[in-house]
């Protein structure tokens, strides 16, 4: 007899809607904030710094909010708190013109924004535990929200101008905050007291630390593209609509991959899958380093499915396997630290410098080299890790 339970429909719908709305905000931040800052007169180096100071603070904020969430045994209340902080900081950013102050307020914005992905994943994984639902069936709504926002907002910004960017961000954050009020908390069945020493135990393994280092390497390459794709397309003569189409293609390409991995991914070990996706990143960024036509950039973005689609799903599966349920939020926060914190800091500063001094093609060439190094790293981990 199947012991899995069905997830109540209203709870199911709210969680999907929350992911949809949250990723709409991600689309604004990833796709259009660089163009917004450029329209306000900031250089690529300054934009890189703006995208670095937040992730640097995010290294602390992900662990802080993840640990607080596990300790207090609530994800919902933490989400409401950080969404309120995002809303306030976004409103202040829209009124700030001095670069030094903008750095401060963007840092605070990212302090509240960067833990969102890990907390959302944590809530989803805990909610579907013991049910027939898959992680992919919820995460896919994030991809749909990102894709919809990318194309619709791109058209709006082309017509209304880049100044509308922060207004769109305020709108999506407000909607996400409203939906968060209707979420239901999910807790680990394990009632062990959460201690800080648990974090040390999680990351104390040499194999796990090397795994995180390799994740950072490929993440830096990926986040070059996140942070500077819009500026690259603009340099090629594209407008906001083309930027929107490129991000829509990448977001929609994730959807079939998530379902394929949800159904068949368990047949393959995590580390070999990560070797494959790292090599595909090499192909993706090598192609990006060679093209000068915006339409080819849109086509290459479809490789997002077999790069980030495999990468994100497989890394989360690996962490889910090695991290106990009672530290679910902390475990996801550790991944977020590598992905949006350390990698975000390095990609913003290094990517901004490469883009400014050598151009976007050099930046993508470096991204391809980093991806190749990551492939070697995952291959060595698979060869030497006993539990791989």
Domain edges within the chain: 9-183+195-384
Say whether pLDDT at 341 is over 90. no
User: At residue 91, does pLDDT exceed 90?
Assistant: yes
Helix (H) or strand (E) holding 153: helix 135-160
What is the pLDDT averaged over residues 141-162? 89
What's the pLDDT score for residue 178?
Answer: 96
3-class secondary-structure state, position 131: strand
User: How high is the pLDDT of residue 23?
Assistant: 94
pLDDT over 60 (residue 196): no
Give the pLDDT band of residue 339 (cuts 50, 70, 90).
confident
Q: Return the pLDDT at 2.
A: 44
Q: Inform me whether the pLDDT recorded for 132 exceeds 60.
A: yes
Do residues 67 and 50 make contact, with C-beta atoms less than 8 angstroms apart? no
Q: What is the DSSP letter of 323?
A: S
Q: How many CA atoms lie within 13 A of 217 on its CB side?
A: 23
DSSP assignment string, 61-76: HHHHHHHHHHHHT-SH
Strand partners, 131: 5
User: What percentage of the chain has pLDDT greater than the value 70?
Assistant: 88
Cβ count within 10 A of residue 375: 22
Q: What pLDDT band is residue 191 in, cutting at 50, 70 and 90?
A: very low
Residue 260 CB partners (closer than 8 Å, separation 6+): none
Beta bridge partners of 5: 131
**Alpha-carbon span 9 to 12, nearest angstrom:** 5
Neighbours of 133 (CB within 10 A): 18
Give tens-digit pLDDT for 218-269: 999 999 998 889 889 989 998 888 888 998 899 889 888 888 887 887 788 8
Please, which pLDDT band fits residue 6 given cuts at 50, 70 and 90?
low
Cα-trace Rg, the chain: 20
pLDDT higher than threshold 90 for residue 313: no
Work out the average pLDDT over 131-158.
86
Mean pLDDT to the nearest integer, 317-345? 73
Q: Stretch 354-376: mean pLDDT, rounded?
A: 95
Virtual CA dihedral for 133, 123, 181, 113, nearest 10 degrees?
-130
Residues 73-102, mean pLDDT to the nearest whole number? 92
Average pLDDT over residues 14-18: 93
Token pair of 379 as six digits: 């291959």
Indicate the burial class of 297 (C-beta count within 10 angstroms; 0-12, 13-18, 19 or more): buried
Read off the pLDDT band of 194 (50, 70, 90): very low
Q: What's the mean pLDDT in 94-112?
A: 90
Displacement of CA 385 from its chain's centroid (Å) = 27
Q: CA-to-CA distance for 134 and 180, rounded, in angstroms?
A: 21
pLDDT at residue 184, rounded to an integer: 87
pLDDT confidence of residue 388: 44
Question: Residue 232's closest CA among 254, 220, 212, 247?
Answer: 247
Rounded distance between C-alpha atoms, residue 162 and residue 173, angstroms: 18
pLDDT over 90, % of the chain: 39
Q: Is the pLDDT of residue 385 over 80?
A: no
- Position 328 pLDDT exceeds 80: no
User: Which numeric CATH code is attached to 9-183+195-384?
Assistant: 1.20.1250.20
Tell me how many degrees the CA angle 232-112-230 measures, rounded to the nearest 5.
10
Average pLDDT, the chain: 85
pLDDT at 353 over 60: yes
pLDDT value at residue 1: 41
Q: What pLDDT is recorded for position 90?
A: 93
Q: What is the mean pLDDT of residues 141-154?
A: 90
| b/e code 181-202 from CB counts within 10 Å (16+ = b) | eebebbbbeeeeebeeebbeeb
211 in Cβ contact with 335 (< 8 Å)? no
Stretch 1-20: mean pLDDT: 70
């Amino acid at each position: 007899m199947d012991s899995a339970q069905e997830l109540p429909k209203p709870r199911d719908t709210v969680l999907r809607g929350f992911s949809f709305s949250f990723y709409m905000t991600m689309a604004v931040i990833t796709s259009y904030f660089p163009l917004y800052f450029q329209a306000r007169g900031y250089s690529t180096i300054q934009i890189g710094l703006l995208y670095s100071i937040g992730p640097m603070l995010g290294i602390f904020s992900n662990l802080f909010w993840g640990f607080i969430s596990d300790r207090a045994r609530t994800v919902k209340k933490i989400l409401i708190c950080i969404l309120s902080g995002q809303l306030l900081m976004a409103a202040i950013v829209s009124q700030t013109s001095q670069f030094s102050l903008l750095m401060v307020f963007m840092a605070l914005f990212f302090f509240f924004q960067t833990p969102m992905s890990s907390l959302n994943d944590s809530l989803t994984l805990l909610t579907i535990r013991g049910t027939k639902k898959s992680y992919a069936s919820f995460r896919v709504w994030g991809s749909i929200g990102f894709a919809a926002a990318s194309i619709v907002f791109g058209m709006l910004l082309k017509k209304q101008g880049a100044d509308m960017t922060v207004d769109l961000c305020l709108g999506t954050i407000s909607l996400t905050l409203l939906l968060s009020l209707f979420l239901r908390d999910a807790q680990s069945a394990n009632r062990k007291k959460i201690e800080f020493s648990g974090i040390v135990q999680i990351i104390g393994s040499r194999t796990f630390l090397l795994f995180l280092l390799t994740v950072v390497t490929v993440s830096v390459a990926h986040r070059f593209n996140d942070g500077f794709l819009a500026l690259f397309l603009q340099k090629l003569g594209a407008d906001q609509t083309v930027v929107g189409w490129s991000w829509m293609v990448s977001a929609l390409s994730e959807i079939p991959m998530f379902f394929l991995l949800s159904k068949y991914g368990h047949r393959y070990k995590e580390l070999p899958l990560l070797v494959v996706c790292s090599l595909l990143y090499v192909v993706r960024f090598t192609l990006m380093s060679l093209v000068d036509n915006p339409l080819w950039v849109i086509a290459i973005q479809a490789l997002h499915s077999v790069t980030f689609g495999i990468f994100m799903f497989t890394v989360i599966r690996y962490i889910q396997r090695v991290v106990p349920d009672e530290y679910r939020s902390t475990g996801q926060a550790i991944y977020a630290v590598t992905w949006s914190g350390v990698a975000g800091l390095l990609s913003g500063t290094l990517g901004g410098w490469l883009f400014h001094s050598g151009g976007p093609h050099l930046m993508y060439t470096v991204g391809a080299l980093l991806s190749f190094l990551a492939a070697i790293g995952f291959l060595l981990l698979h060869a030497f890790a006993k539990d791989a």
